[in-house]
Amino acid sequence: MRVRRQAHGALSSNPDGISNVMAKVPLSVNDKNMLSAVGTVSGASGNGGFKAAGGGLAWDNVNGHGASVTGQHIPDFGDQLTAAAKLNVLHNDKHDVTAQAFATRTFPSNPNVPNFDTYGGKFGYTYDDKVGASLGMQHTDLFKKTDYSAMGNLNLFKGRDSSLDLNAGMSKSVSPYIPSSRWEPSAGLSFTKWF
């Protein structure tokens, strides 16, 4: 089975001290599909502040396919609604290849800023459930801005009910409004617990 059929949560931290939390709770499960409620908090500072928080519904198929609809609130900015889908292109004992796509509609709280869309995708590869890499891109027409990312991850520990992963990579934003853009590094640890 490639779909975890129990509630689980993930906690990740960044070198700057902020944390990200995700929880997923199954609502309906059969032998092929699972419908879950999801919730996230991004950029938690530890003193009650956060960069974004939201929730929604996610569908996962035993063959690695899935889709989700989520909403989130960004303080002092507005709200977002996102539809996403993933397609498992290849899966065997050692190799896993997945393609993902999303579209996000943003509703700014400032009435002078119009609603705008961001869309993009990611292509990822994992070897032996241990080492992975992905390439991603997203574009926002309103700002004429395109973001690129190249990420890698290494599973440091995986038990029956928990996993610890190291994530690192580079990202870059390109826009006529950004005078110079360069690849920026990022890294972090992610801990996942299944209940």
Domain borders along the chain are 1-70, 76-187
Greatest Cα pair distance in the chain: 53
Residues 161, 192: contact at Cβ < 8 Å? no
pLDDT at res. 5: 60
**pLDDT tens, 28-82?**
999 999 999 999 999 998 787 899 999 999 999 999 999 999 999 999 999 999 9
**pLDDT tens, 160-187?**
889 999 999 999 999 998 887 899 999 9
